Structure 1
Amino acid sequence: MSNKGVQLHIQDKQVVLDNGILQATFSNPGGTITGIQYNGIDNLLEFHNSEPNGGGYSTLNWSKVGRSGTSGKFDAIKGTSFKVVVENEEKVELSFARTWYPSLQHEHAPLNIDKRFIMLRGSSGFYYYSIYEHLEDMPAFNLDETRIVFRLKIDKFRYMAIADNRQRCMPLPDDRLPGRGEELAFPEAVLLVNPIEPEFKGEVDDKYQYSCENKDNRVHGWICFDPPVGFWQITASNEFKTAGPLKQDLTSHVNPTALAMFVSAHYGGEDHVLKFKSGEPWKKVFGPVFIYLNSVLDDNDTFKLWNDAKEQMKNEVRCWPYSFPESKDFPTSDQRGTVNGRLLVQDRYISENFISANGAYVGLAPPGDIGSWQREGKGYQFWTTADEEGYFTIKNIRVGDYNLYAWVPGFIGDYRYDVAITITSGCDIDIGHLMYEPPRDGPTLWEIGIPDRSAAEFYIPDPNPKYINKLYVNHPDRFRQYGLWERYADLYPEGDLVYTVGVSDYKKDWFFAHVTRKVGDGTYDGTTWQIKFNNDNAYQSGIHKLRVALASANVAQLLVRINDPKAEPPEFSSGLIGKDNAIARHGIHGLYWLFNVDIPSTRLLQGQNTIYLTQASNTSPFQGLMYDYIRLEAPPSTN
């Protein structure tokens, strides 16, 4: 490991950073990373002057206010001014900034953007962060997506790693082109029919098969075998990402590409688009993220690069918040605050005593309604998990006003602490014992599933043999195979799913997604599932409560009927909800929904009863729901 000081070389059209371990070259003043030299490889990046988006580059998608959807105008973020923020042998920080003017109204998003790069002495990599600002004199607009992208050498980086059990050799980008690849029903998915390397023939390549939840998206990247080199994107904190710990996003995929996603509508749809009003002041720091390079001397040790990258990730997490960024908009540890407390659960139908919120997700996010954190993206969020006794500590919180939110695995619904929390520099706040009372009116008559905001516990079929990704054969994430929605019609070619309480097993008998059935060329039917249960008439009067928690909804409409599949009006209608695309994008969950349906006892029969769940939207194969958990409660007990 070199101990050479960081050197900066400024040329007419490029800027070079060199610390003796690696050399990074940037376009001047654009700030595109045109080259990374490391371990004898002249350039780890696939960059040609004829490619507008080669190398390492930042982008955003934006649209005019009022436009629906999530795909806006593409904007390659290229700086128009270059500045050396700090330069010494210990570190160099560079700024490539772009200022917005009214004359650019139709060309660029109305944002001032400052892209920063930092190289440290002795560090095998470099850091990237960016500062986005919307000023009071700027017009309204929608920010659909923003990210930084690294396109690596195609002939070098063939092995991708996202997790211990999610890594493999990948196809070549040419395998996705017409003649070698066949585009499937969902456009990002391609069936490899004539790949350059025959071992990939018959596989599906789809970048969404490699998505990851924010809470788990700490390190991912690629390995080159000759020479043994790793390229890794490390995220030490998710405070700047949108929509909380369960938000899913892209990581690495064929090309070979490594991404740091900051804002996206993936797995949430338009609910995750940031919408700015005219004159709305806003500033946010995205990052820093760390681009880490590693190598080994012995070819037999190549796979140790992944383990080393994980260790480096742990070190980056320990060092968060970093002390070296020069921007006043990135506060250091002593400028932040801490919140401590304990979360308990009170559900008298489970226990007369308070229940510790073991494993609860507890976080601070901008003030909002209960559960608003999963749709919030303009501010910062800070999350942790409670210990076995429900105690939690949230550290390194930026100064500002927040609500405390939580959800507890094993219980439905969301918690919000009603008192706003103001974080000041250096504060350490103990908010004491908090009590979450999950939605509950009466004792459980029956339940289906586990309240964990995921459909993973339900029946996930084997994929169609024509649409296999070999990585996910006999894999815990079997839901990541392409085309599983089509298997419903194979399993239920005529009648729909019928689940009998006390007889059926949700692990085997409850299909993971409530989808449409194809009945003709481009024609689909809505489907109606039945839940059959026996009512012993123990409760003569009162209101039963049906709790329906959804793990996902995509342009869907849920109708609930009792004992009559054609009753009008239905007992409940969700209306048209959701655009999270989790079914088509192999996500096993999108946004969480909870519906509470009143069922008067007079609507139930003595003996056998049937609840009919209809997913009525039927214009595409991708419309549907994923259930998280369903429970029927008896009327409240009187004692």
Structure 2
Amino acid sequence: MLQIDPSSYTKIMQKKEVKESGDCKLQSTSSVGCPHEEEWTRHIFESNNGEEPLSPPRLRLLIQDRYVLMDNGLLQVTLSNPEGSVTAIKYNGTDNLLEYRNEDDNKGYWDLVWRPPTSGKGTFFKILGTSFEVIMEDENQIELSFTTTWDYSVGDKFVPLNIDKRFVMLQDRSGFYSYAVYEHLEGWPDFNLDETRIVFKLRNDLFHYMAISDHRQRIMPTPEDRATGQPLAYPEAVILTNPSNPELRGEVDDKYQYSCENQDSRVHGWISFDPPVGFWMINPSDEFRSGGPVKQDLTSHVGPITLSMFVSLHYSGDDLSVKLRGGEQWKKVFGPVYIYLNSASDEEHTLGLWDDAKEQMLTEVQNWPYSFPVSDDFPSSDQRGTVTGKLFIRDRFLEEEYIPGDSAYLGLAPPGDVGSWQTEHKGYQFWTRADSDGSFSIYGVRMGDYNLYGWMPGFIGDYKYEVNITITPGSNLNLGQLIYEPPRQGPTLWEIGISDRSAAEFYVPAPNPEYVNRLYLSNPNSNDKGSAPVDTFRQYGLWERYADLYPREDLVYMVGASDYSTDWFFAHVDRNIGNNTYQATTWKIIFVLDNVSEDPNETYMLRVALASATNCELQVRFNIPDVDPPRFTTGVIGKDNAIARHGIHGLYWLYNIEIKTDWLAIGENVIFLTQSRHLSPFQGIMYDYIRMEGPSSSS
């Protein structure tokens, strides 16, 4: 008997005989494998002169009227033709890992939310191809394209984009890749792209254990558990009143409790114990995701669902909507992402699938940028460039010498203003962390014009290299020694918090016992029973705890006596006074000055860095609580909704408030911080860091 070789397999496929075999409709778990498998085997047998092959070909493609099947011997992936929805994934003896009871376009798919510029409400659009093409097919790779095109005849019924969805299967890979090219041609209608992603809905009867990180993994509730639960303040959050798993009774489930920053969202997914199988979403790069490394977004959640978000307004609001105006031309590649499958020998070793998925993630990251995509819009490594340099901090009120930019964030993003990278939404971004001496290298940068941006934990503000950087194929630019001078007027008189763009260091209260997710009460994977809980800020309803702790009087912070980790509430919210009524709140910072400059031309400086803002207004007054207008106001700012979504930060805001000497007094002084908006419980601020500086003449 002869085993079929790759060249024979190619000849078989060139005959296209199998493609005329009829519809390959998938109906249930017993029929999710292609019903023409016997016909496939017969063609192979006949093409080998009656000799039965020892094994099926390592990589094969079967095309039917309504379905396309890719098979590499490790898994089979079936897609609808020409829509390009993933309808079945056969792996390790299981006919379909996706929820077979769903419609074909509701198992594995790309989608988006878009709206005309004048509309405040987005339209959900599932991306279904209207044309199918085999881009590549040989013994090493299959690449398929499912495209949808727009023209003026469809008007505003469909999003004005050409979209090319690609699916790639490689030999000997226990998974498959997907990416998409979005294009808006010159002169086409303006619109906003608020969200786009790839989604997989897994078998409800198989996948019960979800893993986001080493410390964020657990047995999850089912969709039925959520459907019978008690709704809370918004639809995503419910109390599980009668779950199928009694251990989950009384817990809160909310998909936003499993959000993650882009820089940490490299791999997540689900585990089935019977059969022992893992299903993982691997994001090898952030270059195609908007908002930079600390932008937060959804990962996996009850469904069971796993997804990769490319564009969204989560934790940012409308600032991160892709706004196409004036008929501008725009094109962007999202992905590739890797859908990875693994299996264990038995249930005892099933949780080890998470460790294996992490190892595979590291491999994918090291292989980025991939060499296999057959698209001129995805440049390979030799078509990209590298930028290196060394960052130092200059702050003469801390040290006379330059301070190495240890662990600084450095990134290339399209040209813009200082800090614009965090709301940039049309181009690509490339980020890294500096070494202890401030050295950094940014690899795999696509051709184009960029600015270099950055910030340094422990220092306020944003860095920007003032010269535009142009990347050409193979370029290697060394920027040499770079100096960042953070905002500074005079010596620090006092400070509250840590300048890290997060409110995590402040006091996060224990949750109301009625609104608990036990994952965030303790570390389930730690052998240390006394270990601190992880991500305690992810509990539901913490905003209501402010009224419990401060029922009548607001927070007062005594500089030199108070401790921000216990005495500064993590979010400056309004107070619930009952009957769905909320009250503005005013926090006090009390500090003592031994002397005040007598020079009327000198000023003190208050630096207020915010980690989050949601439909709020911060008013600042000095010593006179009712002065009107206030000495400073932000105006109404922010739509990141991070308080409700357990995010501990959204977008970063920095305000530099000059304080006149006659606003201050020798001895005790009070700063009044008022969050004046109070129409809902979710209006509020998260502070990052507050610092008061003396005049520039101070020593």
Interval containing the TM-score (normalised by the shorter chain): over 0.9
After TM superposition, the structure 1 = structure 2 runs for residues 349-388 of structure 1, keeping only pairs within 5 Å, are 349-388=397-436
- Which SS does the other structure have where 2:614 is aligned? strand
1:498 aligns with 2:556: yes
The answer to whether the Cα contact below 8 Å between 1:403 and 1:419 also exists between their aligned partners in 2 is yes
Q: How far apart are residue 182 of structure 1 and its match?
A: 1.2
The answer to whether the Cα contact below 8 Å between 1:219 and 1:233 also exists between their aligned partners in 2 is yes
1:149 aligns with 2:199: yes
Residue 89 of structure 2 corresponds to which residue in structure 1? 36
Residue 188 of structure 2 corresponds to which residue in structure 1? 138
1:127 aligns with 2:177: yes
Among residues 561, 567, 577, which one is paired with 1:519 in the alignment?
Answer: 577
Cα distance in 2 for residues equivalent to 1:493 and 1:105: 55
The answer to whether the Cα contact below 8 Å between 1:190 and 1:205 also exists between their aligned partners in 2 is yes
- Pair 599,551 (structure 1): closer, same or farther in 2 beyond 3 Å: same
The answer to whether the Cα contact below 8 Å between 1:17 and 1:23 also exists between their aligned partners in 2 is yes
Partner amino acid, structure 1, of 2:189: P
Partner amino acid, structure 2, of 1:6: L
Among residues 422, 426, 435, which one is paired with 2:470 in the alignment?
Answer: 422
C-alpha RMSD of the superposition: 1.1
The answer to whether the Cα contact below 8 Å between 1:296 and 1:302 also exists between their aligned partners in 2 is yes
Residue 446 of structure 1 corresponds to which residue in structure 2? 494
The answer to whether the Cα contact below 8 Å between 2:86 and 2:104 also exists between their aligned partners in 1 is no
1:67 aligns with 2:119: yes
Partner amino acid, structure 1, of 2:582: Y
Residue 5 of structure 1 corresponds to which residue in structure 2? 58
Q: 1:436-489: per-residue Cα shift (whole Å, max 9, x none)?
A: 000000000000000000000000000000000010003220000000000000
Count how many residue pairs are aligned between Structure 1 and Structure 2.
Answer: 633
Cα distance in 2 for residues equivalent to 1:67 and 1:345: 45
Q: 1:174-222: per-residue Cα shift (whole Å, max 9, x none)?
A: 1111xx2111012211111122222211100000000000000000000
After TM superposition, the structure 1 = structure 2 runs for residues 323-334 of structure 1, keeping only pairs within 5 Å, are 323-334=371-382
Cα distance in 2 for residues equivalent to 1:109 and 1:82: 19
Residue 214 of structure 1 corresponds to which residue in structure 2? 262
Cα distance in 2 for residues equivalent to 1:53 and 1:283: 25
Cα distance in 1 for residues equivalent to 2:189 and 2:156: 11
Cα distance in 1 for residues equivalent to 2:577 and 2:378: 56
**Once structures 1 and 2 are overlaid, which stretch shifts more, 99-108 or 142-151?**
99-108
The answer to whether the Cα contact below 8 Å between 1:65 and 1:142 also exists between their aligned partners in 2 is yes
Partner amino acid, structure 2, of 1:586: H
1:58 aligns with 2:107: no
Residue 69 of structure 2 corresponds to which residue in structure 1? 16
1:159 aligns with 2:209: yes
Q: How far apart are residue 256 of structure 1 and its match?
A: 0.1
1:322 aligns with 2:380: no
Residue 596 of structure 1 corresponds to which residue in structure 2? 656
- Pair 366,24 (structure 1): closer, same or farther in 2 beyond 3 Å: same
The answer to whether the Cα contact below 8 Å between 1:4 and 1:121 also exists between their aligned partners in 2 is no
The answer to whether the Cα contact below 8 Å between 1:45 and 1:55 also exists between their aligned partners in 2 is yes
- Pair 498,53 (structure 1): closer, same or farther in 2 beyond 3 Å: farther
Residue 566 of structure 2 corresponds to which residue in structure 1? 508
After TM superposition, the structure 1 = structure 2 runs for residues 183-582 of structure 1, keeping only pairs within 5 Å, are 183-474=231-522, 475-537=533-595, 539-541=597-599, 542-582=602-642
Residue 76 of structure 1 corresponds to which residue in structure 2? 126
Residue 627 of structure 1 corresponds to which residue in structure 2? 687
Cα distance in 1 for residues equivalent to 2:325 and 2:488: 39
The answer to whether the Cα contact below 8 Å between 1:3 and 1:121 also exists between their aligned partners in 2 is no
The answer to whether the Cα contact below 8 Å between 1:4 and 1:122 also exists between their aligned partners in 2 is no
Q: How far apart are residue 519 of structure 1 and its match?
A: 1.4
Cα distance in 2 for residues equivalent to 1:365 and 1:3: 47
Residue 141 of structure 2 corresponds to which residue in structure 1? 91
Q: How far apart are residue 54 of structure 1 and its match?
A: 2.1
Q: How far apart are residue 105 of structure 1 and its match?
A: 2.3
- Which SS does the other structure have where 2:477 is aligned? strand
The answer to whether the Cα contact below 8 Å between 2:588 and 2:672 also exists between their aligned partners in 1 is yes
Cα distance in 1 for residues equivalent to 2:345 and 2:155: 52
Partner amino acid, structure 1, of 2:178: Y
Normalization by structure 1: what TM-score? 0.98
Residue 586 of structure 1 corresponds to which residue in structure 2? 646
Residue 618 of structure 1 corresponds to which residue in structure 2? 678
Q: How far apart are residue 52 of structure 1 and its match?
A: 6.2
Larger Rg: 2
Cα distance in 2 for residues equivalent to 1:514 and 1:538: 29
Partner amino acid, structure 2, of 1:159: Y
Q: How far apart are residue 540 of structure 1 and its match?
A: 3.1
Q: How far apart are residue 280 of structure 1 and its match?
A: 0.6
Partner amino acid, structure 1, of 2:87: T
Unaligned runs of 5+ in 2: 1-54, 523-532
Residue 44 of structure 2 corresponds to which residue in structure 1? none
- Which SS does the other structure have where 1:286 is aligned? strand
Cα distance in 1 for residues equivalent to 2:150 and 2:134: 21
- Which SS does the other structure have where 1:419 is aligned? strand
Normalization by structure 2: what TM-score? 0.90
Q: 1:540-588: per-residue Cα shift (whole Å, max 9, x none)?
A: 3320000000000000100000011111111100000000000000000
Q: How far apart are residue 638 of structure 1 and its match?
A: 5.8
Cα distance in 2 for residues equivalent to 1:4 and 1:340: 45
Q: How far apart are residue 55 of structure 1 and its match?
A: 1.1
Cα distance in 1 for residues equivalent to 2:347 and 2:324: 51
Cα distance in 2 for residues equivalent to 1:327 and 1:167: 37
The answer to whether the Cα contact below 8 Å between 2:451 and 2:466 also exists between their aligned partners in 1 is yes
Residue 29 of structure 2 corresponds to which residue in structure 1? none
Q: How far apart are residue 602 of structure 1 and its match?
A: 1.2
- Which SS does the other structure have where 2:467 is aligned? coil
Residue 525 of structure 2 corresponds to which residue in structure 1? none
**Once structures 1 and 2 are overlaid, which stretch shifts more, 203-212 or 513-522?**
513-522
1:115 aligns with 2:175: no
Cα distance in 2 for residues equivalent to 1:172 and 1:270: 32
- Which SS does the other structure have where 1:132 is aligned? strand
Q: Identity, % of aligned pairs?
A: 62
Unaligned runs of 5+ in 1: none
Cα distance in 2 for residues equivalent to 1:53 and 1:462: 42
1:176 aligns with 2:229: no
Q: How far apart are residue 538 of structure 1 and its match?
A: 5.2
The answer to whether the Cα contact below 8 Å between 1:443 and 1:637 also exists between their aligned partners in 2 is no
Partner amino acid, structure 1, of 2:425: G
**Once structures 1 and 2 are overlaid, which stretch shifts more, 516-525 or 387-396?**
516-525
Q: How far apart are residue 411 of structure 1 and its match?
A: 0.1
The answer to whether the Cα contact below 8 Å between 1:56 and 1:149 also exists between their aligned partners in 2 is yes
Cα distance in 2 for residues equivalent to 1:314 and 1:263: 24
The answer to whether the Cα contact below 8 Å between 2:197 and 2:307 also exists between their aligned partners in 1 is yes
Cα distance in 2 for residues equivalent to 1:491 and 1:130: 49
Among residues 656, 662, 666, which one is paired with 1:606 in the alignment?
Answer: 666
Q: How far apart are residue 296 of structure 1 and its match?
A: 1.2
